[in-house]
A and B are shown apart, each in its own frame.
Chain A
Amino acid sequence: MAFVGAKIKIIQPLNLNVHASTHPHSFTSNNNCKFTSLSSPFLGSTRTHTLTLTRSISPRRSAASSSTVVAVSDVVKEKKAKSTSNLLLTKEEGLEVYEDMYLGRAFEDMCAQMYYRGKMFGFVHLYNGQEAVSSGFIKLLKKEDSVVSTYRDHVHALSKGVPARAVMSELFGKKTGCCRGQGGSMHMFSAEHNVLGGFAFIGEGIPVATGAAFTSKYKREVLKEADCDHVTLAFFGDGTANNGQFFECLNMAALWKLPIIFVVENNLWAIGMSHLRATSDPEIWKKGPAFGMPGVHVDGMDVLKVREVAKEAIGRARRGEGPTLVECETYRFRGHSLADPDELRDPAEKAHYAARDPITQLKKYLIESKLVSEADLKAIEKKIDEVVEDAVEFADESPAPSRSQLLENVFADPRGFGIGPDGKYRCEDPKFTEGTAQV
């Protein structure tokens, strides 16, 4: 698949051809990367493969691109192509994922509306088109696992379980927001759901995520909480993959075998800078093996493929085998932010990806594989529409933060405000500030 204007063809990992044989070496002819061994559990060698043609997998979808990993390194092993007679998810899982993706889309569309009506302000970065990545990964996590994101973080927070009301209120800047209106669009935090931000600086979240993974290991080894197998997901974009902090953390995560998954949401554009213009080697997954971890490329518009890769990577991390770098090829349907006129992207490219809308694809799969009925999906859509409407109403009716909130939460220990002219700590003066307050 070539992109308009691209001189470099991104090597699509092996075309998953349902007619191919089950022999693991069958894809050598399709790619020019070498591999050394096939025995890593990460690569699913413990699974049995039965490649059978069923109506459940439409050839068109599987031919688009597979989720196989190929990388040049003796650390990285190959992942076998998978096309099983078993359906890739159960009905419950299918409905859960569909609901999550639809929530992300409906919510972001509502954000755009609210922004143009003036209820939301500042920088708002929407996630339309990338829902497969968020739902594919985050729906496999436990509550104690952590997610660290960038400024494009609304949907990550929603997928992780932060209520839509709390996120919408935060965007409106109301005191009922998940951060009491003090964070905003780019700084979604939730201690309860282990959403550790929301960072505006490119690459800033990656070391923080690596630290969260470090804590998981520390708790297991030093604090002797033997069952602590929490993993951390760090989401970031193609532009970030050129940043120094990214490489520093790839190194340390692999060095210390931290339970972290680096998820690159490669939507090909960093504001107006095309990934191909900014990167010497645009295949980001290759950067993983350079540091001693597997690098995987996956079609980020296909939530089922993302989910398969995510399962492997999360399983690896939980077993203590170390980090993984996953590059998800995806696309944002809207501009970088609501202030971006989005003039540089070719309409043909946009149309190409719009045709591969992850929600439509999942809907098609679920219906064609007879997992769910149209009515089930319609019911979900209706429910989500109501949730989003309710969130807007709630946010609208919520009060703005009170004046006294300005000085709150600067410190966990408000004696950090120092000693006032009367010789007592300033936070002890009730007129100054309450100092600290919880959400």
Chain B
Amino acid sequence: MLGTIRQKAVAARSLSSQVLENDLMRLRSVASVMRHYSAGTKEMTVRDALNSALDEEMAADPSVFVMGEEVGEYQGAYKITKGLLDKYGPERVVDTPITEAGFAGIGVGSAYHGLRPVVEFMTFNFSMQAIDHIINSAAKSNYMSAGQINVPIVFRGPNGPAAGVGAQHSQCYGAWYGSVPGLKVLVPYSSEDARGLLKAAIRDPDPVVFLENELLYGESFPVSAEALNSSFCLPIGKAKIEREGKDITITAFSKMAAEILEKDGISAEVINLRSIRPLDRATINASVRKTNRLVTVEEGFPQHGIGAEICASVVEDSFGYLDAPVERIAGADVPTPYAANLERMAFPQIEDIVRAARRVCYRKSSIAASA
């Protein structure tokens, strides 16, 4: 249900650019429809989850501050930091000039002295202008200083494709940051993930790259009472099994497709990675040993991607258990095109995942298409 509704939401956004309020409204109305479906459970959008997590952490610890472009008076380019300026003032919600290298470095320097900055990149594509600081002065510093100087910083922002934003705004950075020792890389999916992982990231004494997803900001998910507690925290490095299954393991982050498969008689175990670095190899391997088949799904470029890493790790740890070669579903090996139909072809759609799952189960694909 969530899957099909999400598909509609994605289509609705296909013509929008990043920050249009009316698109957010449309998603919110979709989300509010969903709210009526599940009466009784508290629902929360990912946006609200992130906002509440930031709010609670800033209230609990005065050394936490937010820095980035438009985080203050604009209320956040994607409204994630809405209301924080009024509550905590401009010293703690710092609007910066357009200087990614500069303010990422300033964040790192302040973290050296024990403050806990949350640096927002408007999208992670812009983090490339600051990548020297994320990797060289944040990730490596605890090691180079032999434990004298740790860097409790969080770099967060939307990652991966949105809709129709073109090649320079659509790249997924999970694989790049996931390869750097000294970093922790988190990828929340649901609101509960967003809340728990962001809180864990802010409390963590090491640099964390927190990759959100713009299209999920407006999505609503049910949240448990436990998740609403201000001390709620999820462990870093543990994946979540979103759905149990027995035929095939699908690993994914930020996108799910299990519902469709159910209809075709394949029982898929869906693993929400939650954490790209450290990767929860134990959970993935345990699942593969149960189902004997694996499909990895990601939106990033295929070569040297996250699926490649998961495949290698499964081959290393559970080779004897595999009944079929591992299938990787990734984005197309092209810079993201602008045209709506081309863009759809450039990223995994439900049909692609279904096809791969069938291939892995040696069943004929119900959609006639080349493998």
A183 near B144: Cβ-Cβ < 8 Å? yes
A252-B97, A255-B97, A423-B282 as given contacts; A211 in contact with B145, CB under 8 Å: no
Determine if A17 is an interface residue (Cβ-Cβ < 8 Å). no
Quick one: which of A199, A213, A249, A418 contacts B137, CB cutoff 8 A? A199
Residue of B nearest to A423 (CB): B282
The complex places the Cα of A191 from the Cα of B235 at a distance, in Å, of: 29
Check: B287 CB closer than 8 A to any chain A CB. Answer: no
Interface residues of A in 389-439 (CB under 8 A from B): 408-413, 415-423, 425, 436-439
Chain A residues, CB < 8 A from B113? 146, 211-212, 215-216
A182–B146 touching, CB < 8 Å: yes
Q: Do A207 and B149 touch (CB < 8 A)?
A: no
**Cross-chain contact A410 with B142 (CB below 8 angstroms):** yes
Instruction: Check if B148 sits within 8 Å of A191, measured CB to CB.
Output: yes
Known: A201-B132, A413-B204, A418-B280. A206 touches B105 (CB 8 A): yes
Is residue B115 within 8 Å, beta carbon to beta carbon, of the partner chain? yes
Closest Cβ of chain A to B324, distance in Å, is 22
> Looking at the complex, which of A2-10, A217-225, A364-372 is the stretch in contact with chain B?
A217-225
Decide: B281 and A419 in contact? CB cutoff 8 A: yes
The residue that B136 contacts in the complex, of A204, A216, A416, with Cβ under 8 A, is A204
Complex partner residue of B110 from A178, A182, A211, CB under 8 angstroms: A211
Known: A418-B281, A437-B147. A245 touches B109 (CB 8 A): no
Residue contact B236 to A416, C-beta cutoff 8 Å: yes
A382 shortest CB reach to chain B, Å:
33
Please determine whether A411 and B206 come into contact, CB atoms closer than 8 angstroms: yes
* List of B residues within 8 angstroms of A235 by Cβ: none
Q: Please tell me if A187 contacts chain B, counting CB pairs below 8 Å.
A: yes
Give the number of chain A interface residues (Cβ < 8 Å).
63
Binary CB contact string for chain B from 78 to 108 against chain A (1 if under 8 A, 0 otherwise): 0000000000000110001101011111111
B29 at the interface (CB under 8 A from A): no
Does B296 sit at the interface, judged by CB under 8 A?
A: no
A209, B144: Cα distance in complex, Å: 17
Q: Which of A178, A198, A212, A412 contacts B109 (CB 8 A)?
A: A212
Q: Is A42 an interface residue (CB 8 A)?
A: no
Complex: A423 Cα to B282 Cα, angstroms: 6
Q: How far is the CA of A210 from the CA of B111 in the complex (A)?
A: 11
A173 within 8 A of B: no
Whether A417 lies near B278 (C-beta < 8 A) is: yes
What per-residue 1/0 map shows which CB atoms of B146-160 lie under 8 Å from chain A? 111110100000000
List residues of chain A with CB within 8 A of the CB of B184: 411, 416
Asked whether B97 lies within 8 Å of A409 as measured between CB atoms, the reply is no
User: B181–A410 contact, CB under 8 A?
Assistant: yes
Alpha-carbon separation in the docked complex, A412 to B204 (Å):
9
User: Of the candidates B103, B109, B133, B205, which one forms a contact with A196 in the assembled complex, judged by CB atoms under 8 Å apart?
Assistant: B109
Q: Name the A residues within 8 Å of B17 (CB-CB).
A: none
Cβ of B141 within 8 Å of any chain A Cβ, yes or no, is yes
Query: In chain A, residues 65-109, which have Cβ atoms closer than 8 Å to a Cβ of chain B?
Result: none
Interface string of B202-217 (1 = CB under 8 A from A): 0011100000000000
Interchain CB contact (< 8 A) of A187 among B106, B110, B145: B145
- Assess whether A197 is interfacial by the CB under 8 Å rule: yes
Residues 105-123 of B, flagged 1 when their CB comes within 8 A of A and 0 if not, give 1111111111100000000
Q: A201 and B106: CB pair below 8 A?
A: no
Residue of A with least CB distance to B133: A207
Select which of B137, B143, B285 is within 8 A of A182 by beta carbon.
B143
Q: Which residue of A lies closest to B101 (CB)?
A: A245
Using a CB-CB cutoff of 8 Å, which residues 230-261 of chain B contact chain A? 235-238
Q: List residues of chain B with CB within 8 A of the CB of A425.
A: 237
A352 → chain B closest CB, angstroms: 36
Residues of A within 8 A of B152 (CB): 412
Contact in complex: A418, B278 (CB < 8 Å): yes
Residue interface mask A233-252, B partner, CB < 8 A = 1: 00000000000110011011
In the complex, 20 of the A-B residue pairs with CB atoms within 8 angstroms, ordered by the A residue number, are A146-B113, A179-B144, A182-B144, A183-B146, A187-B144, A187-B145, A189-B149, A198-B144, A212-B109, A212-B110, A215-B115, A221-B91, A222-B65, A411-B184, A413-B205, A416-B237, A419-B282, A423-B286, A438-B147, A439-B147
With A197-B141, A207-B108 already in contact, 20 other A-B pairs whose C-beta atoms are closer than 8 Å: A179-B148, A180-B147, A181-B146, A189-B149, A190-B148, A196-B109, A198-B144, A199-B137, A208-B105, A215-B110, A222-B91, A223-B63, A248-B99, A248-B102, A409-B146, A410-B143, A411-B205, A415-B236, A416-B237, A418-B281
Q: A interface vs B, CB < 8 Å?
A: 146, 148, 178-184, 187, 189-192, 196-201, 204, 206-216, 218, 221-223, 244-245, 248-249, 251-252, 255, 408-413, 415-423, 425, 436-439
Point out residues on B near A: beta carbons under 8 Å: 62-63, 65, 91-92, 96-97, 99, 101-115, 132-133, 136-137, 141-150, 152, 181-182, 184, 204-206, 235-238, 275, 277-283, 285-286, 317
